[in-house]
Amino acid sequence: MSKPILELKEIDVYYGPIQALKKVSMHIDEGETVSLIGSNGAGKSTLLMSIFGQPRAASGQIIYQGTDITHKSSHYIASNGIAQSPEGRRVFPDMSVEENLMMGTIPIGDKHASEDMQRMFEMFPRLKERRNQRAMTMSGGEQQMLAIARALMSRPKLLLLDEPSLGLAPIIVKQIFATLRELAQTGMTIFLVEQNANHALKLSDRAYVMVNGEIRLTGTGKELLTNEEVRNAYLGGH
């Protein structure tokens, strides 16, 4: 058994009076690829953001590498090796591609910056073509690649990805998942939030299914792919 890199213990999260997450418990082991699937509004993105304390869990515990990070600041959590490509990509619109990538190096300093940037350009050649272009002028797919690359620039121990396939052309979705598969094979721990359950489950070692802020089901990627309930709800019954 490998040890968990991240563990959520019964966390409750509220947006004002509305409870977004209810007693959510889960864990991600080192080197695993884990995905969280569920429909729109189930609380998947909230879960990812609450790992960074935005919003903070009202009760429960978040343990990262044996340390309780439930009440730590976002920048502390980022500087300790968790990186996120968030919902809506959130690239810095007025910055060039290179500048956006440089923002990813804050936790580790810029000593590996040029070497890592080259790696990103090999992984996403489109970004190289647009290296001096402002992010706001790029297409959704390019911004998605940029958001993932920016997260990778910090050489994270744990990579959180929020809907990398959202709103993208199928061919780009395929490309992005191929890249994720390569990353997983290098041993990186990946936690993936997806509506595109088919792609996500095929990629993942394990997965959780979230419904209305609660974890409804869990199992290996293969198990969930063949699970009747999952197939009907998230895989369009095919």
- What does residue 77 show for φ and ψ, rounded to 5 degrees? -65, -45
Considering the complex, what minimum distance in angstroms separates the CB of residue 48 from other proteins? 10
Using alpha carbons only, how large is the chain's radius of gyration in Å? 17
| Nearest residue to 8 (alpha-carbon basis) of 20, 31, 24 | 24
If the CB atoms of residues 75 and 119 are measured against other proteins, the closer one turns out to be: 75
Q: Which amino acid does the sequence have at 118? A: Q
If the CB atoms of residues 78 and 224 are measured against other proteins, the closer one turns out to be: 78
Considering the complex, what minimum distance in angstroms separates the CB of residue 132 from other proteins? 13
Residues in contact with other proteins by CB under 8 A are 52, 54, 73-75, 78-79, 83-84, 86, 90, 92-95, 99, 102-104, 106-107, 110, 150, 154
| Nearest residue to 219 (alpha-carbon basis) of 209, 229, 228, 211 | 209
If the CB atoms of residues 80 and 198 are measured against other proteins, the closer one turns out to be: 80
Considering the complex, what minimum distance in angstroms separates the CB of residue 107 from other proteins? 4
If the CB atoms of residues 19 and 79 are measured against other proteins, the closer one turns out to be: 79
Query: Whole-angstrom Cα distance, residue 122 to residue 116?
Result: 10
Query: Whole-angstrom Cα distance, residue 119 to residue 125?
Result: 10
Considering the complex, what minimum distance in angstroms separates the CB of residue 92 from other proteins? 5
